């Protein structure tokens, strides 16, 4: 009874940009189901004052945030370094006084395809050969070695901005020059021949809850659901579980959607997403990952006694 009463009083902020998003709604419903109060928050609508005796972060109605914990669904697209930094710095400040899940550092590590790959490599996880360079000559030599390569934005998502290049294509130098002019730096990765799908494994805490294949639409090598990929139930193997759990740990996340790809010699880790959507796995397997994420966050509030 006492426990129930404590939980009723808990206020859990949910950082989101689209209130209609499946995952955002599922977070809110599950927080509500657990007897806590969900507080939807858009980081763009928050202000920070350093003028008073204490720091304060307040919303559009000038109300100070009085939260017990924060769950991050998504921080939204930002068009400048200053706006994205401000959002993450708000999260970092909030992290001083409450559990924030995922931690801002984990979200940043995961979103960064260069640094996350460094962390994966450090953790001895299998990753496709990858080169990051601002030098055209290095880029050309790399693609000659890889023969078939993908070029990705370092901070990309949803399969956007990914191009496939072949060492044999006559306009290779021109294409690389254009990409280099546009991006300033190139992220080149060996193309992994695969069965036309990738695998998205969901990890919460130290457990893999399930997985889906994302089957690419014909003619596309990108299997993201937002690019038309179709979610199909995938039986988790020990190898998938282990890779996904270690990739999640490597970026420091409490929960993640880990992308794996089936190469000819085995699985490779492609990325760990620190703000994954739970919709695909819910559709394909009936698993609600947000339920376990909310449970883990509430356990964390109890443990830390913030």
Interface stretch with Mg ion, choices 34-42, 105-113, 207-215, 253-261 (CB under 5 A): 253-261
* Among 141, 221, 228, 288, contact with ligand ADP (rule: CB under 6 A): 221
Q: What are the phi and psi torsion angles at 46 (to 5°)?
A: -100, 150
Contacts of ligand ADP in 66-125 (CB under 6 A): none
In this structure, are residues 195 and 150 in contact, taking their beta carbons and an 8 Å threshold?
no
Work out the widest C-alpha separation in the chain, in whole angstroms: 73
Measured distance CA(268)–CA(272) in Å, rounded: 12
The interface mask with ligand ADP, positions 232-271, x = CB under 6 A, is: ---------------------------x-x--------xx
In this structure, are residues 64 and 48 in contact, taking their beta carbons and an 8 Å threshold?
no
Tell me if 13 contacts ligand ADP by CB under 6 A: no
SS3 197: strand
- Which residues lie closer than 8 Å to 271 by C-beta, 6 or more apart? 110, 113, 116, 258, 259
Decide which of ligand ADP, Mg ion, none touches 221; Cβ closer than 5 to 8 Å per partner kind. Answer: ligand ADP
Interface stretch with ligand ADP, choices 28-36, 55-63, 102-110, 152-160 (CB under 6 A): 152-160
Decide which of Mg ion, ligand ADP, none touches 158; Cβ closer than 5 to 8 Å per partner kind. Answer: ligand ADP
What DSSP line would sit under 250-284, residue for residue? HHT-SEEEEEEEEETTEEEEEEEESS--SHHHHHH
Angle between helices 81-94 and 104-111 (to 10 degrees): 140
At its nearest, how many Å lie between Mg ion and the CB of residue 224?
6
Tell me if 259 contacts Mg ion by CB under 5 A: yes
Taking residue 273's Cβ as centre, other Cβ atoms within 10 Å add up to 24
* Among 154, 162, 180, 225, contact with ligand ADP (rule: CB under 6 A): 162
Q: What are the phi and psi torsion angles at 23 (to 5°)?
A: -65, -40
Interface stretch with ligand ADP, choices 27-35, 67-75, 219-227, 248-256 (CB under 6 A): 219-227
List residues binding Mg ion (CB under 5 A). 259, 271
List residues binding ligand ADP (CB under 6 A). 128, 150, 152, 156-160, 162, 189-192, 194, 198, 221-224, 259, 261, 270-271
């Amino acid at each position: 009874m006492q426990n129930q009463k404590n939980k009723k009083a808990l206020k859990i902020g949910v950082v989101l940009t689209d209130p209609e998003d499946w995952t955002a709604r599922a977070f809110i419903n599950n927080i509500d189901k657990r007897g806590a109060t969900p507080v939807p928050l858009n980081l763009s609508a928050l202000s920070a004052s350093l003028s008073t005796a204490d720091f304060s972060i307040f919303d559009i109605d000038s109300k100070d945030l009085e939260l017990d914990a924060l769950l991050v669904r998504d921080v939204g697209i930002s068009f400048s370094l200053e706006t994205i930094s401000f959002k993450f710095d708000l999260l970092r400040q909030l992290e001083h006084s409450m559990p924030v899940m995922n931690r801002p550092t984990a979200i940043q590590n995961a979103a960064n395809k260069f640094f996350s790959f460094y962390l994966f490599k450090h953790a001895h996880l299998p990753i496709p050969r990858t080169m990051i360079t601002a030098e055209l000559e290095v880029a050309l030599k790399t693609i000659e070695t890889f023969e078939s390569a993908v070029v990705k934005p370092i901070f990309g998502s949803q399969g956007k901005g990914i191009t496939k290049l072949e060492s044999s294509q006559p306009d290779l130098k021109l294409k690389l020059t254009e990409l280099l002019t546009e991006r300033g730096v190139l992220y080149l990765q060996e193309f992994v021949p695969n069965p036309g799908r990738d695998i998205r494994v969901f990890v919460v805490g130290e457990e893999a809850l399930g997985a889906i294949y994302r089957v690419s639409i014909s003619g596309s090598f990108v299997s993201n659901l937002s690019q038309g990929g179709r979610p199909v139930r995938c039986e988790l193997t020990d190898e998938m579980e282990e890779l996904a759990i270690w990739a999640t740990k490597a970026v420091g996340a409490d929960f993640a959607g880990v992308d794996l790809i089936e190469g000819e010699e085995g699985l490779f880790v492609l990325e760990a997403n620190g703000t994954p959507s739970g919709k695909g796995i819910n559709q394909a397997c009936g698993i609600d990952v947000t339920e376990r994420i909310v449970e883990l966050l509430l356990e964390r509030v109890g443990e830390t006694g913030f």
